[in-house]
Structure 1
Amino acid sequence: MATGWAGDTAVQDQIDATVEDAIKRARSRMPSGPSLEHCEECDAPIPDARRKAVPGVRLCVACQQAHDAEDASASGYNRRGSKDSQLR
């Protein structure tokens, strides 16, 4: 299937690149190091079960949910453009 400037696998390549970017972004945001006993934002105690389940945790559940909601509103937009879209 000829698509002009784009190769036959251009769409799949773009999808793969988007997924790889999302994985890299998620891995870079994962907590590391020792877990905190109190949330660094609201100073609420972080339960032992959460500290064991998520090594390096820094936020309580409520603050983490607020951060996740903010991040979800900014995701889902593919900023990579194909050569075809740039030439039109």
Structure 2
Amino acid sequence: MADWFDRAQALEQRERDLAIAAQLAKPRPAGESRSLCLCCKQPIPPARQALGGILRCVPCQTTFEQGKR
């Protein structure tokens, strides 16, 4: 018999799975990455450039995404 804790865990897992699926469904940037950030002109680390389609450094991208909300 499932108790309240088991039901809570199942609900949490379902919500986590939905959140992950929503993130994976978002379009990913594609194409060539910039070597300098579009906003601050600082170099973008090579590991980040390897993702493809990167235009901004992490701090500038964070600010950009927060501005969209």
The TM-score with structure 1 as length reference comes to 0.45
The total of aligned residue pairs comes to 65
**In 2, are the aligned partners of 1:46 and 1:59 still within 8 Å (CA)?**
no
CA RMSD of aligned residues (A): 3.7
Secondary structure of the residue aligned to 1:31 is coil
Paired residue for 1:51? 49
Of 11, 14, 18 in structure 2, the residue corresponding to residue 17 of structure 1 is 14
Q: 1:34 maps to which residue?
A: 31
Note closer, same or farther for the CA distance 1:30–1:39 as it changes in structure 2 (3 Å cut).
farther
Which is bigger in relative contact order (C-alpha 8 A, separation at least 6)?
A: 1
Structure 1 unmatched ranges of 5 or more: 71-88
TM-score (norm 2): 0.52
**Structure number with larger C-alpha Rg:** 1
